[in-house]
C-alpha cells in the first residue's frame, strides 16, 4: 500500500509541478522564468487592462457555455437512443461514438475545416461553436450512458403500470435518475471546450479567437509572464468548475442515501 501511495504521489507531482511552476513565476517581477526577484501582481494587472484579451475571454466563455449546453441536450437524447436501440445497432452506435473520442484532434480539426469550406460556412464564431458541439457530444454520451445502464428496467415498468405515458416516464423517471450523469457530461464538455486548442486553431478566423489560441499566439511571440498570469487564471477557473461539480455530486449522493 505504501509503495502504491508513493507512486500515486509521484505521478501527481509530475503532472502538477509544471502548472505550479508556471503559477509561481506569474508573480515574478523580474519578467523571466529563470530567477525570482520579488512578488508582484503587475502581470495580472496587465491581463485585466488588456481590452482585447477580455473580449477573447468573453468569446471563450460564450462558446464554452453554449456548446456544452447544446451538446448536453443532444448527448442526453443520443444516450437514451443508444440505450433503447437493438443490440446490433447499439454496438455500432457506441463504436461510432468512441471513434470521435479517440480520433486525434488534428484530424478532427482538419476535417471540420474541409467541411466548413465545402459548405461555405465562414470561419469564426459559428464554425467554432459547431465544432465544439460536435466533439462534446460523444463525451456527454459516455457520461450519461452508464447511468442509464445502472437504472433498473422495473422502474420504467412500474411507472407504466401506474398509468404514466412515455413523456411522463422520460421526465419523471429517466431524467431525474440520470441527472448526475447529465451534470458530469455538462462539466466535462465545458472543460473540454475551454481547454481545446487543436480543433479551434483550424476552424477559427476573421478576427475571432479563444483563450487557448490567444495563449499559443502570445507564447510564440516570446516569453511574457502575462501568459503565465492568464494561464493561472484559466487553471483556477477550471479548478473552480471541478470543485462545483464535486460538491453537486456529493449532495446528490447524500440525498440519494437519505431516500
Q: Give Dmax (Cα) for the chain.
A: 73
pLDDT score of 199: 92
In three-state secondary structure terms, 39 is strand
For the chain, what are the domain ranges? 52-222
Closest CA to 129 of 191, 66, 192: 66
pLDDT score of 115: 92
Chain Cα centroid distance, residue 38: 35
pLDDT score of 65: 93
Torsion of Cα atoms, 57 then 60 then 61 then 67, to 10°: 180
pLDDT score of 259: 53
Q: Measured between alpha carbons, how far is residue 95 from residues 118, 141, 145, 237 in Å? A: 27, 12, 13, 33
Q: Domain 52-222 belongs to what architecture? A: Orthogonal Bundle (1.10)
> Which residue ranges of the chain lie beneath pLDDT 70?
1, 222-223, 252-259
pLDDT score of 112: 93
Number of Cβ within 10 Å of residue 210's Cβ equals 24
pLDDT score of 76: 94
If phi > 0 it is left, if psi is from -120 to 50 it is alpha, else beta; for residue 120 that is left
In three-state secondary structure terms, 28 is strand
Q: How far is Cα 120 from Cα 31, in angstroms, rounded to an integer?
A: 44
DSSP code per residue over 74-116: HHHHHHHHHHHS-HHHHHHHHHHHHHHHHS-HHHHHHHHHHHH
pLDDT score of 134: 92
Using one digit for the tens of pLDDT, what is the confidence trace for 244-255?
Answer: 877 877 776 665
pLDDT score of 247: 81
Burial grade of 234 (CB within 10 A; 0-12, 13-18, 19 or more): middle
Which residues fall within 8 angstroms of residue 164, CB to CB, at 6 or more apart?
Answer: 172, 173
Closest CA to 191 of 152, 154, 139: 139
pLDDT score of 255: 59
Using one digit for the tens of pLDDT, what is the confidence trace for 9-25?
Answer: 899 999 899 889 989 98
Amino acid at each position: 500500500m505504501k509503495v502504491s501511495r508513493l507512486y500515486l504521489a509521484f505521478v501527481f507531482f509530475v503532472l502538477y509541478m509544471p502548472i505550479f511552476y508556471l503559477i509561481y513565476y506569474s508573480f515574478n517581477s523580474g519578467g523571466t522564468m529563470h530567477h525570482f526577484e520579488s512578488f508582484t501582481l503587475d502581470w495580472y494587472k496587465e491581463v485585466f487592462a488588456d481590452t482585447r484579451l477580455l473580449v477573447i475571454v468573453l468569446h471563450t466563455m460564450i462558446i464554452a457555455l453554449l456548446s456544452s449546453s447544446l451538446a448536453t441536450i443532444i448527448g442526453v437524447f443520443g444516450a437514451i437512443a443508444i440505450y433503447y436501440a437493438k443490440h446490433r445497432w447499439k454496438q455500432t452506435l457506441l463504436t461510432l461514438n468512441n471513434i470521435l473520442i479517440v480520433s486525434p484532434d488534428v484530424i478532427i480539426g482538419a476535417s471540420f475545416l474541409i467541411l466548413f469550406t465545402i459548405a461555405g460556412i465562414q470561419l469564426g464564431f459559428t464554425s467554432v461553436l459547431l465544432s465544439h458541439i460536435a466533439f462534446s457530444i460523444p463525451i456527454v454520451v459516455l457520461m450519461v450512458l452508464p447511468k442509464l445502464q445502472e437504472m433498473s428496467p422495473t422502474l420504467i415498468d412500474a411507472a407504466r403500470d401506474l398509468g404514466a405515458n412515455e413523456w411522463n416516464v422520460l421526465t419523471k423517471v429517466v431524467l431525474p435518475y440520470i441527472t448526475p450523469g447529465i451534470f458530469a457530461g455538462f462539466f466535462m464538455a465545458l472543460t473540454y471546450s475551454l481547454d481545446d486548442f487543436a480543433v479551434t486553431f483550424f476552424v477559427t478566423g476573421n478576427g475571432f479567437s479563444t483563450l487557448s489560441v490567444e495563449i499559443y499566439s502570445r507564447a510564440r511571440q516570446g516569453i511574457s509572464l502575462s501568459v503565465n498570469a492568464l494561464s493561472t487564471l484559466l487553471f483556477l477557473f477550471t479548478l473552480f468548475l471541478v470543485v462545483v461539480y464535486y460538491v453537486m455530486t456529493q449532495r446528490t449522493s447524500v440525498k440519494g442515501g437519505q431516500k
